[in-house]
């Protein structure tokens, strides 16, 4: 009763509005971008709206990634869901499990009779959002992968060759030693510790993060990131933290402020940090591939993505879905993707966009911007490096953050911390399995 | 002896009381009942399906050592917040009460922080204590103290306690100040003539006369520390480092809105409700006996 009254009041103006432009079908698009990224999304939407007059996409900012997902879920429960919802990669399993709430992209494209070639998308990007039998569920939107950012001036100031080999963690360890000896206060810092130093570490060395092909094979998956490789890496980082070679700044990308201000020499962060670092850094910087442990068989494999994809929600008209299909195809076009890739440092989602960017000479003019693309696409993804599909993953990351903090503070050994994180995470996976059976 | 004003008939009193009852029912009883209902289920996030689990959510919670730790953390946190927000408030109120000139200005300045929302207060304090650019952190560094609330749990707890208490001091100040004004001068003057010095007068006369106010503030501040400090925790520590500042209400949010585990989140709300209810009953039973009205 209350809902219907409020609904009528709110819907009044909305219902009247279309008379002005009867022909246009409105499509709601909820996203999580502000600032420069928000402007760039608005620009894409404007370009689409101006390119045709059958559909009008209305983009709305709904807060950060978690808030946007929550807004979408709450709206679905109230029957007010948008046609398109942006969901970050860790929410993938949640969306996948909600079969009655989402309309898979492959199905949308088939229903709308739109041109759709899943092979046009870069394998390592689309793999994250594709079922085991190769059907794409959501459209990759912004995808990045972790790389190593280098403050060349800081290296030189500490008496280290700015072109020193940093391809392996062994070599990085040597350089950290020299940096420390050279008086550097913050030799290494990181953003998104779980994503870079456990999730990507595992994929990059072709070891599983979770059983059942990292969760792609079913909800009865269990975490396995307490293996010898991960323990060795986290223990090494913990030792570096104790020696003041690795400075922990926070759970998200707090370390970015330190690096951009020139306070830190090395920084592991997403390739999408490019826009910010380029805008703010008052020093000579370089992008290097993420280091790997030399001697581990199969390394370096490929890194996995972070970022978000666009999910289409159930419960709308066929005509609206046609518009959604047209908009998603527009976003995937080579020109739009190439511009997005060059503006933001996010990966191009299609092979064609990458080739177009190279042909335009962008990589030559901006050295290092192709490091992430090469790192992602160097090898065909394996079951361990296709991505992760774990329920309650946002919360599991929170648990990993807590346990890693115990290692950085010297309260736990890497083995203890990772064992504990695996045990606690598995409990959440079991609850998720129960809730979605 | 007692004088009573009574209404003629039922209509007017019913009309007067209805709005409050309706508001309480819609905004308090209905959601609370829903939380109790939901706590018996394990739903998926989208509300597409829901499994009845009975007491399963509660068993899961109470067998989780991290949940039990959060109960302890909450006790420490709310105890500290109550203490840190009440003692300085009383001290300031006593000082302001003795002012002869400019009392109005001091009062206004002391009340200001109450106008700052908890989340904003959190950001302000975080900014001062930021390990890289914070002014206070920098001065501490100059004194040879390496401030790092990002990794040090005790420092993180200290920071969220101070940030939560700061605005609250103003609120408590207001009540203490009003209560102090109501203490009869004649009693104090009589004691002064008998030779009691200021602190003696304070502890034997003023403090007992303030006890109704102190008791009221104790209850209100505990409830505040339990429920309304979410914004501060969220902006400053997000419950970290490790779980050093994960209080119960933050866990309700984290499990419900980050983990989308609405069953567990509802069960936690119910437990929280019971704890605060028991605490309030306890306060009324035990402490109120010592209050002199």
Residue A16 has what pLDDT? 43
Smallest CA–CA distance from B264 into chain A, residue: A431
The domain in which residue A138 lies consists of: 2-144+306-365
Q: Which of A325, A242, A353 is nearest to A25 (CA)?
A: A325
Q: How far is A281 from chain B (nearest CA, A)?
A: 17
Q: Which of A120, A60, A65, A55 is nearest to A90 (CA)?
A: A65
Residues A21 and A158 in one domain: no
Smallest CA–CA distance from A74 into chain B, residue: B46
Residue B214 has what pLDDT? 94
H or E element at residue A56: strand A55-61
Task: Summarize pLDDT for A182-195 with one digit per residue, the tens.
Answer: 999 999 999 999 99
Which DSSP letter does residue B2 get?
-
Peptide bond into A300 cis (omega under 30): yes
**pLDDT top residue among A21 and A381:** A381
Distant-in-sequence, close-in-space partners of A258: CB < 8 Å, separation ≥ 6: A186, A189, A247, A249, A264, A267, B132
Residue from A98, A261, A398, A429 to probe the interface with B (highest B Cβ count within 10 Å):
A398
Task: Summarize pLDDT for B125-142 with one digit per residue, the tens.
Answer: 999 999 888 999 999 999
Residues A85 and A132 in one domain: yes
Query: A43 — contact with chain B (CB < 8 Å)?
Result: no
pLDDT over threshold 80, residue A45:
yes
Residues A293 and A349 in one domain: no
In a domain, A256, yes or no: yes
Residue B291 has what pLDDT? 76
Query: Mapping DSSP to helix (H, G, I), strand (E, B) and coil, where does residue A13 land?
Result: helix
Q: Worst-scoring range by mean pLDDT, A18-32, A284-298, B96-110?
A: A18-32
Task: Summarize pLDDT for A91-103 with one digit per residue, the tens.
Answer: 999 999 898 999 9
Distant-in-sequence, close-in-space partners of A201: CB < 8 Å, separation ≥ 6: A229, A230, A233
Encode chain B (293 residues) as per-residue pLDDT tens digits. Answer: 456 777 788 889 899 999 999 999 999 999 999 999 999 999 988 988 888 999 999 999 999 999 999 999 999 999 999 999 999 999 999 988 888 788 888 888 989 999 998 889 999 999 999 988 899 999 999 999 999 999 999 999 999 999 999 999 999 999 999 999 999 999 999 999 999 998 899 999 999 999 999 999 999 999 999 999 999 999 999 998 999 999 999 999 999 988 888 999 999 999 999 998 998 898 888 887 777 76
Residue A17 has what pLDDT? 44
In a domain, A378, yes or no: no
Task: Summarize pLDDT for A136-172 with one digit per residue, the tens.
Answer: 999 999 999 999 999 999 999 999 999 999 999 999 9
Residue from B44, B48, B67, B264 to probe the interface with A (highest A Cβ count within 10 Å):
B44
Nearest to A435 among B42, B133, B152 (CB): B42
pLDDT over threshold 60, residue A7:
no
Smallest CA–CA distance from B240 into chain A, residue: A402
Which CATH number fits the domain that encloses residue A415? 3.40.190.10
Nearest to B241 among A70, A257, A409 (CB): A409
Query: B114 — contact with chain A (CB < 8 Å)?
Result: no
| ipTM given for this complex | 0.85
Please answer whether residues A145 and A303 qualify as being in contact, where contact means their C-beta atoms are separated by less than 8 angstroms.
yes
In a domain, A381, yes or no: no
Residues A81 and A193 in one domain: no
**pLDDT top residue among A360 and B102:** A360
Dist. CA A97–CA A115, nearest whole Å: 27
Complete DSSP assignment for B136-175: HHHHHHHTT----TTT-HHHHHHHHHHHHHHHHHHHHHHH
The count of domains in chain B is 1
Residue B236 has what pLDDT? 93
Query: B155 — contact with chain A (CB < 8 Å)?
Result: no
B264 chain-A contacts, CB cut-off 8 A: 431
Dist. CA B97–CA B89, nearest whole Å: 12
In a domain, B204, yes or no: yes
Residues A186 and A256 in one domain: yes
Residue with tokens 């480092």: B241
Residues A91 and A228 in one domain: no
In a domain, B54, yes or no: no
Q: How far is A77 from chain B (nearest CA, A)?
A: 6
Nearest to A428 among B242, B257, B259 (CB): B259
Dist. CA B212–CA B207, nearest whole Å: 10
In a domain, B278, yes or no: yes
Residue A265 banded pLDDT, cuts 50, 70, 90? very high
Residue A22 banded pLDDT, cuts 50, 70, 90? low
Which CATH number fits the domain that encloses residue B255? 1.10.3720.10
Query: Across the interface, do B51 and A435 touch by the CB < 8 Å criterion?
Result: yes
Residue A11 has what pLDDT? 43
* A306-313 and A84-88 beta bridge pairing: antiparallel
Query: Across the interface, do A406 and B242 touch by the CB < 8 Å criterion?
Result: yes
Query: Mapping DSSP to helix (H, G, I), strand (E, B) and coil, where does residue A350 land?
Result: strand
Query: B238 — contact with chain A (CB < 8 Å)?
Result: yes
Residues A156 and A285 in one domain: yes
The count of domains in chain A is 2
In a domain, A371, yes or no: no
Q: How far apart are the two ends of chain A, measured CA to CA in Å?
A: 33
Residue A275 banded pLDDT, cuts 50, 70, 90? confident
In a domain, B103, yes or no: yes
Mean pLDDT for A28-35 is 93
Residue B47 has what pLDDT? 86
In a domain, B142, yes or no: yes
Task: Give the mean pLDDT of chain A.
Answer: 91
Dist. CA A57–CA A47, nearest whole Å: 10
By percentage, how much of chain A surpasses pLDDT 70? 95
Query: A66 — contact with chain B (CB < 8 Å)?
Result: yes
Which DSSP letter does residue B260 get?
-
Between the ranges A193-207, A358-372, B238-252, where is the mean pLDDT highest?
Answer: A193-207
**pLDDT top residue among A325 and B99:** A325
Residues A177 and A35 in one domain: no
Query: Across the interface, do A395 and B242 touch by the CB < 8 Å criterion?
Result: no
Which DSSP letter does residue A64 get?
S
Residue A15 has what pLDDT? 44
Q: Which of B175, B89, B242, B137 is nearest to A401 (CA)?
A: B242
In a domain, B184, yes or no: yes
Residues A45 and A192 in one domain: no
A435 chain-B contacts, CB cut-off 8 A: 42-44, 51, 261, 263
What are the Cα distances from residue B273, in Å, to A298, B32, B229, B239, B252?
54, 9, 16, 20, 12
In a domain, B216, yes or no: yes
Residues A221 and A139 in one domain: no
In a domain, A386, yes or no: no
Give the helix, strand, coil percentages of chain A, each rounded to 5: 50, 15, 35
Number of cross-chain residue pairs from A and B with Cβ atoms under 8 Å apart: 86
In a domain, B47, yes or no: no
Between the ranges A87-96, A117-126, A186-195, A339-348, where is the mean pLDDT highest?
Answer: A186-195
pLDDT over threshold 60, residue A8:
no
Residues A156 and A32 in one domain: no
Residue A123 banded pLDDT, cuts 50, 70, 90? confident
Dist. CA A13–CA A35, nearest whole Å: 29
Smallest CA–CA distance from B260 into chain A, residue: A392
Torsion over CA: B25, B27, B29, B33 (sign):
positive
Residues A310 and A395 in one domain: no
The domain in which residue B231 lies consists of: 66-290
H or E element at residue A29: strand A25-31
Dist. CA B218–CA B81, nearest whole Å: 10
């Amino acid at each position: 009763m209350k809902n219907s009254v409020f609904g009528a009041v709110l819907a009044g103006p909305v219902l009247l509005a279309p008379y002005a432009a009867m022909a246009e079908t409105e499509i709601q698009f909820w996203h999580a971008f502000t600032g420069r990224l928000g402007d760039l999304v608005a620009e894409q939407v404007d370009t689409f709206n101006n390119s045709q007059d059958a559909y009008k996409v209305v983009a709305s900012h709904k807060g950060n990634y978690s808030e946007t997902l929550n807004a979408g879920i709450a709206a679905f429960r109230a029957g007010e869901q948008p046609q398109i919802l942006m969901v970050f990669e860790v929410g993938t399993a949640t969306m996948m499990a909600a079969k009655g709430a989402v309309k898979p992209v492959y199905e949308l494209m088939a229903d709308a009779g739109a041109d759709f070639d899943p092979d046009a998308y870069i394998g390592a990007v689309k793999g994250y959002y594709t079922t085991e039998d190769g059907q794409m569920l959501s459209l990759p939107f912004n995808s990045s992968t972790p790389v190593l950012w280098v403050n060349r001036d800081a290296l030189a100031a500490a008496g280290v060759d700015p072109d020193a080999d940093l391809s392996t963690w062994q070599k990085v360890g040597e350089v950290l030693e020299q940096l420390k000896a050279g008086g550097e206060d913050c030799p290494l810092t990181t953003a998104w510790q779980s994503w870079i130093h456990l999730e990507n570490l595992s994929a990059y060395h072709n070891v599983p993060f979770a059983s059942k092909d990292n969760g792609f094979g079913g909800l009865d998956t269990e975490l396995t990131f307490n293996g010898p490789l991960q323990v060795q890496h986290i223990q090494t980082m913990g030792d570096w933290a104790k020696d003041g070679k690795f400075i922990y700044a926070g759970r998200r990308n707090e370390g970015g402020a330190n690096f951009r201000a020139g306070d830190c020499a090395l920084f592991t962060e997403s390739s999408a940090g490019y826009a910010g670092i380029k805008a703010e850094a008052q020093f000579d910087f370089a992008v290097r591939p993420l280091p790997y442990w030399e001697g581990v068989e199969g390394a370096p494999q490929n890194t996995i993505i972070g970022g978000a994809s666009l999910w289409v929600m159930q419960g709308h008209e066929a005509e609206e879905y046609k518009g959604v299909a047209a908009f998603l195809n527009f976003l995937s076009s080579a020109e739009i993707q190439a511009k997005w890739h060059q503006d933001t440092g996010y990966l191009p989602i299609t092979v064609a966009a990458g080739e177009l960017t190279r042909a335009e000479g962008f990589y030559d003019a901006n050295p290092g911007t192709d490091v992430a693309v090469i790192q992602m696409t160097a090898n065909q993804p394996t079951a361990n490096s296709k991505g992760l599909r774990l329920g309650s993953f946002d919360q599991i990351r929170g648990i990993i953050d807590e346990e890693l903090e115990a290692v950085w503070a010297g309260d736990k050994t890497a083995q203890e911390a990772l064992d504990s994180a695996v045990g606690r995470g598995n409990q959440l996976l079991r609850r998720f399995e129960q809730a979605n059976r | 002896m007692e004088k009573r004003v009574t209404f003629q008939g039922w209509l007017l009193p019913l009309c007067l009381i209805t709005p409050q009852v309706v508001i309480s029912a819609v905004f308090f009883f209905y959601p609370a009942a829903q939380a109790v209902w939901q706590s018996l289920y394990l739903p998926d996030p989208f509300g597409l399906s829901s499994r009845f689990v009975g007491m399963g959510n509660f068993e899961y919670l109470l067998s989780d050592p991290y949940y039990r730790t959060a109960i302890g953390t909450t006790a420490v946190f709310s105890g500290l917040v109550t203490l840190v927000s009440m003692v300085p408030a009383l001290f300031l109120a006593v000082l302001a009460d003795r002012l002869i000139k400019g009392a109005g200005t001091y009062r206004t300045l002391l009340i200001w922080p109450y106008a700052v929302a908890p989340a904003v207060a959190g950001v302000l304090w975080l900014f001062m204590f930021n390990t890289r650019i914070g002014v206070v952190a920098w001065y501490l560094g100059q004194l040879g103290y390496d401030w790092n609330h990002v990794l040090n749990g005790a420092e993180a707890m200290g920071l969220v306690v101070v940030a939560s208490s700061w605005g609250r001091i103003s609120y408590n100040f207001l009540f203490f100040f009003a209560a102090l004004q109501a203490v009869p001068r004649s009693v104090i003057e009589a004691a002064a003539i008998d030779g009691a010095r200021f602190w003696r007068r304070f502890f034997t006369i003023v403090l007992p006369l303030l006890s109704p106010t102190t008791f009221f503030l104790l209850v209100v501040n505990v409830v505040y520390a339990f429920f309304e400090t979410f914004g501060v925790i969220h902006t400053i520590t997000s419950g970290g480092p490790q779980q050093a500042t994960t209080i119960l209400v933050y866990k309700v949010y984290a499990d419900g809105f980050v983990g989308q585990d609405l069953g567990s989140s509802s069960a936690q709300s119910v437990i929280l409700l019971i704890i605060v209810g028991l605490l309030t009953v306890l306060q009324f039973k035990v402490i109120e006996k010592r209050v002199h009205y």
